[in-house]
Amino acid sequence: MRYLVTGNQMKEIDRYTIQTVGIPSAVLMERAALAVAETVETLAAYSLHIWAVCGTGNNGADGIAAGRILHNKGYKVTIILAGDPQRGTEEFYLQRHIAQNLGMQVVEWKDFLPGRCDILIDALFGVGLSRPAEGEYLEVIHMMENAGASKVVAVDMPSGIHSGSGQIMGAAVRADMTVTFGWRKLGSVLYPGREYCGQVKVCDIGFAPDSIRLVKGEGTVAVTFGPEDLERLPVRPEYSNKGTFGKVLVVAGSENMGGAAYLSALAAYRMGAGLVKVMTDERNRQIIQQLLPEAVLATYRADEMEEEPAVFNQKVEEECAWADVIVLGPGIGRGPGVYELMRAFLTNAYVPMILDADGLNAVARYSELTQYFTENIIVTPHMGEMARLTDLTIEQLQEDIVEAAEGFSLEHGITCVLKDAATVVTGRDGQVYVNISGNSCMAKAGSGDVLTGVIAGLLVQGCEPWDAAALGVYLHGLAGDRIRARDGNHGMLARELADEVGKVERQYRDFGGMIHQKEIPL
C-alpha cells in the first residue's frame, strides 16, 4: 500500500521532520535537489541549455539548488526567478546566495531574454498553490509553456496543478517527469493532474517513516496499490470444495440485456467464486445457458413483480437466503417493476450487496430506497450515475472527486466506488483509495459489469467491503493494462477483461515481473 498526501499534509510532515525529529531543512533540500539533478541528467547531454524557473518559496529553493548541482557538473544552467524576492523563505535566500557566489546566471524573469531551452526545471509553486495563478505568475507559466523545451521536469508538482484535487488552477505547466519527495501527491493521480505530471518519480529524501501517521488531523490520508498489494488476495486452501469459496447471486439483465448478467457472473467466477447463480428475465434463459453453462439459473417474468407480488417476494427471500453475496442492478432496465425488484432485495438481503448500473438509476429515481442501505452495501456509480444520485453536475463532481465519493460514503454509511479515469473508492470509516491501474482501452460497454463481478468474487471469499472494492478496482485495471500491452489500444472487449483478471495474479506475484508503467516505484 502506498500513501498519497495533499500539500497541507506534506507541509505538516516537513514541519515534524525539521522541528521534532531535528533533520535540518537544508539537508532535506540538498537531497531533494540531488534527486532532481540526477533525473535531469538522465535526459540531458552536456551541450544542452537548462532553465530552472524558480519561485521564492522552498520549492524555488529546491530548483535553484538543483540548478547549482547541474552547473557544477558543467551544464549550461540559467536560474530564472519569479515572485517578490522580498518575501522569500530563508532557504530561498540561502540557495540564491550560493548560486550567485558561484557566478551562475541568476536573473529576474522580467529581465530575462529568452533563448535556447532544451530542458526546463519547473520549480515555481510545488505543492503550495491554493488559489488560481494570476498576474505575473500566470505570465511565467505561459513563458514556460512557450519555452520550447524538449523535456520539462517538475519539482514536486507541475506549477498550476492543485496538489490535493489535481485540478488546473487557472493555467498549468505540462511536465514530462515529476520528481516528488517522500510520498506521491494525491493531485498527481487524479485527473487532469495525472496527465500533467507525466511520469512520476518518488524519492526518499529523509522524512521520518512514522510521520505519515501524524498528519491524520489534516484530513484523510489516501492510498493507492502497487504489485505488492496482490498479497491481499484471498488464500485458496487446497483442502476445499466449491462451497468453501462462496455463492454469488447476480440479479441482472432485462430483455435484450442478458450480456450484463453474463459478464458479471463470468467475472465472479474468474475471480474465484465457488458458485454463481444468475437471476434474470425469463427471456434471457437461453443466452445465459449457452454463454455460461457453469452458472446456475433462476428466472422471473417482467410482469411478475406487479401481478404476483407474493410469489415474487417468496422467490426473492429464497434466493437471498441462498446467497453469500448479491450483485443487484446490471442491465435490469428502468421499466415497470424495477422499484419492486430493488425494494424486495434490499429488504430481504442480509449479506454484502453490490449495487450497479440500473440498480443505481433506480435509487436515484426512488431516493427512499436508501433507507434500506446497510454497511454491507457497495455502490459502483460512474460519473453520470453519481450526478443523478447526488443532484450535482458532472463538472461539480470533477472539482473534487475524492470529496464527492467520501461524502456519499459517510452520508449513507456504505462503500462507494466512483468510476472515472482515476477511480476513487471510499469507505464508511473514512478510507480513501485512488486507482492508478487501467487505461482508456477499457472504456467499453460491459467493463463496469466485469468490475462488479470481480468485486463480488473477492467479497464472497471473505474480503471486507472496502478492501474488496479497492483490490477489485486495482485488479480490473491491471487486467486492462495486460490486454493493451499484448493486443494494442483499440480492440479490447469486456469479456476479455473478465478472462484476463484471473490471470493477473500469476504475473504480478513475481516482483521481478511487470511493474506498473505509470509510476516509478520507490
Where among 223, 253, 272 does a domain terminate?
Answer: 223
pLDDT of 522: 28
pLDDT of 217: 56
Q: How far apart are the C-alpha atoms of 302 and 284, rounded to whole Å?
A: 11
Where among 223, 251, 270 does a domain terminate?
Answer: 223
For residue 270, tell me if it sits in a domain.
yes
Tell me the pLDDT of the chain (522 aa) as tens digits: 999 999 999 999 999 999 999 999 999 999 999 999 999 999 877 668 999 999 999 999 999 999 999 999 999 999 999 999 889 999 999 999 999 999 999 999 999 988 899 999 999 999 988 899 999 999 999 999 999 999 999 999 999 999 999 999 999 999 999 999 999 999 999 999 999 999 999 999 999 888 887 776 566 899 999 998 998 999 889 999 999 999 999 999 998 899 999 999 999 999 999 999 999 999 999 999 999 999 999 999 988 888 888 999 999 999 999 999 999 999 999 988 899 999 999 999 999 999 999 999 999 999 999 999 999 999 999 999 999 999 999 999 999 999 999 999 999 999 999 999 999 999 999 999 999 999 999 999 999 999 999 999 999 999 999 999 999 999 999 999 999 999 999 999 999 999 999 898 776 555 444 444 333 332
Other CB atoms within 10 A of residue 26 CB: 15
Same domain? For 304 and 411 the reply is yes
Same domain? For 207 and 246 the reply is no
For residue 237, tell me if it sits in a domain.
no
For residue 235, tell me if it sits in a domain.
no
Same domain? For 27 and 173 the reply is yes
Kindly report the CATH number assigned to the domain that includes residue 294.
3.40.1190.20
Residue span of the structural domain in which 152 resides: 2-223
pLDDT of 46: 67
For residue 26, tell me if it sits in a domain.
yes
Same domain? For 216 and 68 the reply is yes
Same domain? For 179 and 247 the reply is no
pLDDT of 110: 93
Closest among 257, 49, 203 to 519, alpha carbons compared: 203
Q: How far apart are the C-alpha atoms of 406 and 115, rounded to whole Å?
A: 47
Q: 491: which residues sit within 8 A by CB, 6+ positions away?
A: none
pLDDT of 38: 96
E-only strand ranges, 273-423: 275-281, 296-300, 325-328, 353-355, 377-379, 415-418
For residue 28, tell me if it sits in a domain.
yes
Cell numbers representing residue 306 in the block: 406487479
Q: Are 324 and 273 in contact (CB under 8 A)?
A: no
Same domain? For 486 and 407 the reply is yes
Question: For 376-428, what is each residue's pLDDT tens digit?
Answer: 999 999 999 999 999 999 999 999 999 999 999 999 999 999 999 999 999 99
For residue 228, tell me if it sits in a domain.
no
pLDDT of 218: 60
Same domain? For 250 and 148 the reply is no
Same domain? For 213 and 248 the reply is no
Same domain? For 259 and 185 the reply is no
Total structural domains within the chain: 2
Question: For 358-377, what is each residue's pLDDT tens digit?
Answer: 999 999 999 999 999 999 99
Instruction: Classify residue 513 by burial, with Cβ atoms within 10 Å: 0-12, 13-18, 19+.
Output: exposed
For residue 173, tell me if it sits in a domain.
yes
Instruction: Classify residue 490 by burial, with Cβ atoms within 10 Å: 0-12, 13-18, 19+.
Output: exposed
Instruction: Classify residue 439 by burial, with Cβ atoms within 10 Å: 0-12, 13-18, 19+.
Output: middle
Same domain? For 465 and 362 the reply is yes
Kindly report the CATH number assigned to the domain that includes residue 86.
3.40.50.10260
Q: How far apart are the C-alpha atoms of 65 and 106, rounded to whole Å?
A: 12
Same domain? For 282 and 203 the reply is no
Q: In what order do the strands lie in the sheet with 275-281?
A: 184-185, 2-5, 222-224, 432-434, 424-426, 415-418, 377-379, 353-355, 325-328, 247-251, 275-281, 296-300
> What angle separates helix 338-348 from helix 309-322, to the nearest 10 degrees?
40
Same domain? For 303 and 407 the reply is yes
- Counting other chains too, the contacts that 229-233 makes at CB distance below 8 Å and 24 or more residues apart are 229/1, 229/471, 229/474, 230/504, 230/505, 230/508, 230/509, 232/463, 232/467, 232/471, 233/458, 233/471, 233/505
For residue 229, tell me if it sits in a domain.
no
Is the pTM value of this prediction over 0.75? yes
pLDDT of 515: 40
Where among 190, 223, 256 does a domain terminate?
Answer: 223
